[in-house]
Structures are given as C-alpha cells and as structure tokens.
Amino acid sequence: MTLEELKEKGKVYLIDKPLTWTSFDVVNKMRYSLCRTYSTRKLKVGHAGTLDPLASGLLIVCAGKETKNIDSYQAREKEYTGSITLGACTPSYDAETEITDGFPTSHITEEMIHSTARDFTGEIMQRPPLFSALVVDGKRAYIHARKGADIEVPARPITIHDFEITAIDMPRVEFRVVCSKGTYIRSLANDFGIALGTRAYLSSLRRTRIGSFKIEDAMSIETVIESIANDYNESRDDE
C-alpha cells in the first residue's frame, strides 16, 4: 500500500491491546510507525472505542480515510468477557484504585448470582464511573475524582443484550456480556454487587468483539507494526 492509497482509501487495523496500555498509547505507537514507514509528518489515525488500561482485547485503529468511519464502528454492539470480585469495592469500580474489602458475601448463592445477572438484561439506566473521561462541569470526570470533588455523573440509557455468568469461584465471578455503545462494564460490576447485597469491582476485562470484528482476527501491536512495513515494502516492489 502506497501513502496515497493509505490516505485516500484508508485502512482498518485490528489490534489485541495489551494490559497497562491506554488506547491512546496504541494510537500514538501506530501513528509513529505509519509516519516513519511512509516518511510523512501528517496522517490521520484514531481508535474506535476506548479500552481502559487494565482491560485487554480488541481495539479498532483506523488510518487515513477510514478515520471517517470511526463513529460507525463505535456504534456497533460489543462483547466482553471478564471477572467480577464480590465483597470488595474501589472508587474506580476496577482494580486501578485502592480496594476496600470486608463486605458480606455469605448470603449469596449461585442461583442469586445467575438471577441477578438476568435482571440486568434489556434497556437499563446506568451511571458511568466518576473515574471516567466524560465531561462534567467542563472537566473530565476523573479530574474531579482525583481532587476529591463531590460531583454526580448523570445516568443514561444503555442496553445489555446478554449478561451470562460463565463460572463461579467465590468471591470471583466470571462473565460474558453483549452490550450497546456507551456501556461501562465497570459500572455494571459495581451495580451487580449492590444488587446482590454486597459490593463488587471489575477484576479483569477483555473485549472480544465489536460488531462483526472479532478478537480472533486481531494481532499484537508488534505484529501489526511489522505488517505495516511489509505493506510498504510490497508497494515499492510493485513500482
């Protein structure tokens, strides 16, 4: 693929985002690699749907003209797998912030866990985490949170198409979720714990699908960067 083709036609890269990387880390790495390989200083690169640093899995990165389709990709149904730890909570609803434990779990049965998961399917109102990038009063919510500000992030409608409990090893519960755009799995974990009469936080998360794009078709960031060089070299060989 030539630089002109990349800019005019664009390309979609399916990346298996590793743990601890932010989505912007991946985009920056991709932009640097593309610009360096194609000897250009300017190229549009963006991702279609943020993954938190402690989440892994499918990240769609668009380059060139494909960046115009980012909103379309973001709007598609998403699937996740992961685990929720019961009996503890954190301010961020995941393991990124300090864990407070000691909440009751002895009253929770396996049937309660399965039936409560079913209660969350359909269209529900969900309040995003305070530790999020949503803008509240002109600032990112996480900026307010880090300063200890007492603000409220408004709830909004989302759809949970499927919330399946795949394994239970108390206090850890493994799950699969299929949901709409705008769903915070961290908030789902927090609300799930409250509904069970305890507290909970998201202890692991992996995105496995966005629309028809599947994690099985994704590659590591290193492999994708290698493929960029191969595409460029093949285009030069054809000249």
Residue 238, judged by CB atoms within 10 A of its CB (0-12, 13-18, 19+), counts as exposed
The encoded tokens of residue 174 equal: 């493994």
For the chain, what is the largest distance between any 2 Cα atoms, rounded to a whole number of angstroms? Answer: 70
C-beta separation of 188 from 176 below 8 A = no
Partnered with residue 168 across adjacent β-strands are: 173
The encoded tokens of residue 144 equal: 């307010």
Instruction: Decide if 16 is catalytic.
Output: no
> Using CA atoms, how far apart are residues 157 and 83, in angstroms rounded to an integer?
23
Partnered with residue 200 across adjacent β-strands are: 86
Choice among 52, 94, 137, 238 that is catalytic: 52
The residues annotated with a catalytic role in the active site are 52
